Structure 1
């Protein structure tokens, strides 16, 4: 068994960057066998590495990448950790809405590990193709103010692992991938808003955010266990940079107002109803709240109330749905 995998399985010591590098070298050189890869992923799925090991993992991935994209000031990434109650794709709706009010957004995400549709699944249903390269991200930002990042933004080592464990898939290891996923993508942004559904992982993510010098990170949680801000819940936001304006007080609504629709087709239809502003007041306020978070985190707004109002107006007056339709036909 590879020594790094043994370290992870024993859980007695932190894993250094050098150990992670040795593991990825073995994966690249095809000296890591399938059983080791499955044991590695099983260990990561069973218990996340500690903060030192996780930070070393991110450093290892970063050190193996080619030069990343040039960051665009004021551009925001939105991505959640997954899990929590079933809702429509709030963060994807918020990405469209924020872009519709002038906030440049790059949305990263994945296929569904726990819900009906992940962001990539939803985009396929909508007929919107994620960007396959950094120039495509730049082009989409220039044309629409919004880009959806394809899998190329994630470490190549994850793709190699997925191939090595075939015919098994990555779904059983979704907890690890969802939790650390927001820190794995290399994107041309200067801010990031990440919802965290499981408060138990928040201390780890706070520690990781503190090691990130090149973008402002907001980590949001709430007492409903969702990985997005909810207008009817008690929300908190932690940041690695500056301060966060006081959050609005909870108002009316329940999780039932945010239902996702039945099956993949129903979930896609429900999403279109949401971005058309016709899914009810609570759904509209929820999307507007999250779009406002992108505006504030990116430095495009300074107060919640006017930002939420502007986003709500864009939903109700059709600007958000119009952007969705433009990206479906012109993307």
Structure 2
């Protein structure tokens, strides 16, 4: 590690193979906490390069609990976190809307970072049993249309960096890894990013692979479509902005997206959305994100048609039916 640290501190960067090899050794516990902390500090001083991120991603996917759901056309909707907006669980709610519309969703998530409640908090609160039993997850995906990968169960190698991350008390490169290390490598991904720099970085990583993807960033700082202003989006072939009016909605105020002050607050909002008893603003922002998920999977469909599908899935209680069935199955 000493030679690598000197190399990096001199302003150099790693190629993909070097990055993959180094992170594999870190995950396997070959270095001390002090060495790992020094390594992570490099990427607080400068942004990680796309080739480095690709190598780090490859290492974690190689080490994770493997999930082969290649027989399904799947999607994950996830944000990087780190936007500091404390929104309710928009991405997670959007996943149930997508499943309600008939699309197969393999949601990958963890406990909250930039908000009081992450995807794992919601699934856990409503009684979902975290598992890495592939047969159980395949049955859920096949029969219900959605399953959930609680990240710590699928990335056991991350335990070796956990103490260092907790001791540092700052965001590290591992915070941006979650959205790109779904253990089943879904064929489609809608990924929200907390800033345009990370958006461009992810685009370079995804461009080098064969996944179908769409990246989004609300230009006022949200890591998802917020409807509080324009949203930048990027696919393999298109880069443009979308306004709330493009979805057929009026602009929202930031306070309308608040997730509250506790997991219980966020859960109450989530349940109200599933029951179509939430505010129109809360329902609209979920519909907008689900609509982009549909368009990510079906780029031939117009945005208005995708909004229509998502609206029908939510307001027709199809998302609620999926949510109820999944929770009751556990």
User: Of residues 174, 179, 188 in structure 1, which corresponds to 2:176?
Assistant: 179
2:270 alignment partner in structure 1: 271
Q: Deviations over 1:187-228 (max 9, x none)?
A: 252110001121232221221121122x11111112221111
After TM superposition, give the deviation of residue 145 of structure 1 in Å. 0.3
1:59-74 correspondence to structure 2 within 5 Å: 59-62=58-61, 69-74=68-73
Q: Deviations over 1:85-140 (max 9, x none)?
A: 22111000000111011011111122112210111122111111244143333221
Alignment check: 8 A CA contact 2:132 2:149 kept: yes
CA pair 267-59 structure 1, distance change in 2 beyond 3 A: closer
After TM superposition, give the deviation of residue 230 of structure 1 in Å. 2.6
1:169 alignment partner in structure 2: 166
2:322 alignment partner in structure 1: 323
Alignment TM-score, normalising by the size of structure 1: 0.86
Which moves more between the two structures, 199-208 or 17-26? Answer: 17-26
Q: Deviations over 1:250-289 (max 9, x none)?
A: 6232122111122121111121112222211111111111
1:261 alignment partner in structure 2: 260
2:104 alignment partner in structure 1: 104
1:1-331 correspondence to structure 2 within 5 Å: 1-8=1-8, 10=9, 12-24=11-23, 26-27=25-26, 30-62=29-61, 69-84=68-83, 85-151=85-151, 155-162=155-162, 165=163, 169=166, 172-213=169-210, 215-240=211-236, 242-243=237-238, 247=242, 248=246, 251-299=250-298, 302-331=301-330
Alignment check: 8 A CA contact 2:294 2:306 kept: yes
Alignment TM-score, normalising by the size of structure 2: 0.87
Which moves more between the two structures, 102-111 or 134-143? Answer: 134-143
- 1-side partners of 2:28 and 2:194: how far apart? 37
- 2-side partners of 1:297 and 1:325: how far apart? 26
Structure 1: give runs of 5+ residues left out of the alignment: none
Alignment check: 8 A CA contact 1:81 1:195 kept: yes
Which moves more between the two structures, 10-19 or 272-281? Answer: 10-19
After TM superposition, give the deviation of residue 24 of structure 1 in Å. 4.4
CA pair 200-17 structure 1, distance change in 2 beyond 3 A: closer
After TM superposition, give the deviation of residue 291 of structure 1 in Å. 1.0
Alignment check: 8 A CA contact 1:190 1:216 kept: yes
- 2-side partners of 1:25 and 1:252: how far apart? 45
- 2-side partners of 1:171 and 1:107: how far apart? 28
SS of aligned partner of 1:149 = strand
Alignment check: 8 A CA contact 1:245 1:303 kept: no
- 1-side partners of 2:198 and 2:102: how far apart? 32
SS of aligned partner of 1:219 = strand
CA pair 291-21 structure 1, distance change in 2 beyond 3 A: closer
- 1-side partners of 2:172 and 2:29: how far apart? 26
Alignment check: 8 A CA contact 2:73 2:186 kept: yes
Alignment check: 8 A CA contact 1:17 1:56 kept: yes
After TM superposition, give the deviation of residue 70 of structure 1 in Å. 4.2
After TM superposition, give the deviation of residue 246 of structure 1 in Å. 8.2
After TM superposition, give the deviation of residue 13 of structure 1 in Å. 0.9
Alignment check: 8 A CA contact 1:109 1:120 kept: yes
RMSD of Structure 2 on Structure 1 (CA): 2.8
